[in-house]
Amino acid sequence: MLALRDIQPQKNEVYLDNNATTPVLPQAIEASTHTMQLCYGNPSSSHITGIKAKYILETTRDLTRQVIGAKTGQVMFTSGATEGIQTAIISSLIAAKHQQKSIENPVLLYGATEHKAVPESLKHWNKMLDIGAQVLAIPVDERGILDMTFIAEHVPNALMICTMIANNETGVYQDLALLEQTIRQHNSDVYWMVDCVQALGKIQLSISDTSIDYAPFSGHKLYAPKGIGILYVRESAPFTPFIAGGGQESGLRSGTENLPGIAALQAVLALLNDEQDDTFKSHEQLEKYREQLVQTLTKAFPAIVFNHDFTCSLPTTINFSVKGLSSKDIMDLFDAAHIRVSAGSACSSKVTGSFVLDAMGKPKWQSNSAIRMSFGPATSQQEIDDACHAIEQAVKALKSSCLILSDTADNSAIGVDGLQQWLYDNGCTWCYVDKATKQCFVIDLAPELVAKFETLVECQGYEVVAVLTTHIHQANEAHQNMIQTLWQNDSSSYDVLGWPQNTRLVSLENELAVEAITIGNKVIARLPLPGHTENSVAYLLGRADNQQLKAVDIEFVFVGDLIQINGLGRCDVQDGDASSLYRSLQLLNQVITEQTLLCPAHDYLQLFNTTLALEMQSQPMLKQIIDGEISEQAFIEYKNKADEQLPPADYHQYCGPVGSFNNIIETVHPNQLVKFISDSPNTVVVDVREPHEYDAYPDSTIGGKTMVNIPLSQITQFVQRNKSGQADNRYVCICRSGKRSEAAAKTLQRNNFTHIYHVPGGFALLNKS
Ligand code: PLP
């Protein structure tokens, strides 16, 4: 385990994720430390040490009242906003239950862009307390503003309505006065909770001048530590304690108060309340910061789209998307450049998008590519200048990787040579480049990656020799349009899978003659292999000698969904046929070796490639087919049963079984890495991040050794080129967090590389001076 003091921020870190949490102000740290060291009493103790603690507690409460404008009502301290939200919801629902309001079809309303804590708590307590209300999302318009007509229509039946002042993903704020008017005009006594988390310190509040019943706040969104929050409760609002016990907080919330957190909060609120102090910047100043960042971003990404209307958004949040770049591309780049932002969508191979942008009706690509950049009301001009400089530097790396176009960069020297895998929603797009001739082709290009492919082609000046697909499902007719757009030729010169007309013939190992096209000094041969669908084919890439493509000369086979990693493509889709699959597998075996690398159309396990040898090990049935030990009929029966067990076929997800693979990879912990390298001179430290991440921060040595960049997307090419002769090398894979390095290490080990290690925690836990 790393010692706590060894976990440090990276050098020149630029933190632009203040909506997730802010740093803690020095004054807050001091207040908290002082309380822990000297004023550690329990506010409930009646001795002098306790009285002092109680004084800190109550003066913080008074200050809170001033800052949020709570002249009346209760102000209590909680562990954070999520607890405040629970308390408000439970209080409202229990009251509604006891009052047995005579509403025929009761509803619980919440804004569609609310933080997940709200709808999830509403649903949970609605169920737990057996309320039986319908939980309804209030739609928002394209700017993220709540639909007042919907509220007017449904609020008469509502037991509770939950809205927020400002959104955490976009900073969009609501017109509170109009909202109040609408709610109260149609239901004067509905319980109303307003999540004020993102508003504190940014919008002037006068809470008890409104009819808001509950208002939760969170300390860690405003420079206090995590674990402290505030809940305002209107005087007349019902209340049920969420935590019972010793009766602290006048019985509203039991448990010894978090005094260090409360003292820190006091320090922050004191600064906020002090008109002479300039820690918290004016609205105008924050708008200037936003303008500066927006200009830098627009220059860096000419294709940028901002996902919200700045005229109704807090200046501290900028949410944007860049066509052709996923959230993950930008997140990875920025993180490598030591800039911390957050993605609107989850950063995994499964793309989920942002529900906030979805609710605003933004196009899917915008939602899938969203990045949130947030600074805080106490951010300094220097921090914004540093951020802009860091963004400019980071984007240079993106331009030289051809992920975005640049007018100035000379890209001729860079560029990939060979095969890359781009993963989208577990689907594999395979892109092959012959660097010498600047020719390329792409197989099974996901529509979402078309822009990335086009940018690469334009940036490098590649000639596209083919845009191919291994099979088409009925549902995927959009694919045809995509090929048409990408191909410069007219549509009569290629078939439905993108295969061009003027081809040559090559013969395969079993003498079968198949059509082929040329790329550099290699060929792509097309081998029809029906089974998963009727039109399924495989593409074989290799060097043909005298029009012969021998098994040993094939580098890669793009097998589509015939064979997957740990499974066979399912046959219970339209045009699927187990008998054809059986024969296709036997045919494939005749024309390749057991070690030829197979590149499937799906990669559920992030293992990139496979071989017949590996698949025969993990799938005894495949071995029986290839060895002719099972009859076609017996296989059909087996396969039909096996397919029935699979989840429903869904184009993006399940073209075959997902399987599992759990080999153990040896690890080198971040604090042992330097010693590990010096102990063994034949260690190769492999940075498996993408080239734009590797280049984003000029620091490629470790323990005096230069790291080698083998991007995870090019691991299959690396395997192909280095299958033999690497026995003595010790490869230590490293990436940002340890996830990709583990995937790379697994892939290498699975492909018979020995002495493979990875660094759990990756660069995040590596202390580089
Ligand atoms: N509400 C909003 C708008 C938020 O942004 C957050 C935190 O991200 C929460 C509620 C939950 O706050 P806490 O982390 O204090 O539980």
Of all residues in the chain, what percent carry a pLDDT higher than 70? 92
Mean pLDDT for the stretch of residues 364-378: 95
- Which homologous superfamily does the CATH classification assign to the domain defined by 666-764? Rhodanese-like domain (3.40.250.10)
Of all residues in the chain, what percent carry a pLDDT higher than 90? 75
Contact 500, 488 (CB under 8 A): no
Q: Ligand 1: residues whose CB is within 6 Å?
A: 80-82, 115, 117, 164, 168, 195, 197-198, 218, 229
Q: Which residue lies with its CA nearest to atom 5 of ligand 1?
A: 168
Query: Phi first, then psi: what are they for 24, rounded to 5°?
Result: -95, 130
Contact 700, 590 (CB under 8 A): no
Mean pLDDT for the stretch of residues 586-604: 96
DSSP, collapsed to helix, strand or coil, labels residue 96 as helix
Q: Which residue lies with its CA nearest to atom 16 of ligand 1?
A: 82
Q: How far is the centre of ligand 1, averaged over its atoms, from the C-alpha of 168 (Å)? A: 8
Please tell me the distance from the alpha carbon of residue 276 to that of residue 632, in angstroms, as a whole number.
Answer: 85
Q: How far is the centre of ligand 1, averaged over its atoms, from the C-alpha of 196 (Å)? A: 9
Q: Indicate the residue type of 461.
A: G
Question: What local confidence, expressed as pLDDT, does residue 701 receive?
Answer: 87
Residue 610 CB partners (closer than 8 Å, separation 6+): 563, 564, 565, 597, 598, 600
Measured from the Cα of 19, ligand 1's closest atom is 5
C-alpha angle 462-464-470 in degrees, rounded to nearest 5: 140
Q: How far is the centre of ligand 1, averaged over its atoms, from the C-alpha of 81 (Å)? A: 5
β pairing state of 597-600 and 756-758: unpaired
| Domain formed by 283-400, architecture | Alpha-Beta Complex (3.90)
Q: Is 302 a residue whose pLDDT tops 50? A: yes
Question: What local confidence, expressed as pLDDT, does residue 282 receive?
Answer: 96
Question: What local confidence, expressed as pLDDT, does residue 659 receive?
Answer: 63
Question: What local confidence, expressed as pLDDT, does residue 725 receive?
Answer: 59
Contact 230, 222 (CB under 8 A): no
Q: Is 464 a residue whose pLDDT tops 80? A: yes
| Domains in the chain: boundaries | 26-273, 283-400, 418-644, 666-764
Q: Is 346 a residue whose pLDDT tops 50? A: no
Q: How far is the centre of ligand 1, averaged over its atoms, from the C-alpha of 119 (Å)? A: 13
Contact 231, 78 (CB under 8 A): yes
Q: Which residue lies with its CA nearest to atom 7 of ligand 1?
A: 20
Q: How far is the centre of ligand 1, averaged over its atoms, from the C-alpha of 521 (Å)? A: 58
Q: Is 347 a residue whose pLDDT tops 70? A: no
Question: What local confidence, expressed as pLDDT, does residue 486 receive?
Answer: 63
The helix (run of H) or strand (run of E) holding residue 548 is strand 548-549
Fold that domain 418-644 belongs to in CATH: Metallo-beta-lactamase; Chain A (3.60.15)
Question: Which among 110, 193, 218 is the best mutation to test ligand 1's pocket, defined by most ligand atoms within 8 Å of the CB?
Answer: 218
Q: Which residue lies with its CA nearest to atom 13 of ligand 1?
A: 81
Q: Catalytic residue positions?
A: 347
* 683-709 tens-digit pLDDT: 999 999 999 899 888 778 888 888 999
DSSP, collapsed to helix, strand or coil, labels residue 269 as helix
Q: Out of 580-584, 700-704, 726-730, 749-753, which region has the weakest mean confidence (pLDDT)?
A: 726-730
For the domain with range 26-273, which CATH number is right: 3.40.50.620, 1.20.810.10, 3.40.50.300, 3.40.640.10?
Answer: 3.40.640.10
The helix (run of H) or strand (run of E) holding residue 373 is strand 371-374
Residue 521 CB partners (closer than 8 Å, separation 6+): 434, 543
Question: What local confidence, expressed as pLDDT, does residue 492 receive?
Answer: 67
Mean pLDDT for the stretch of residues 375-390: 97
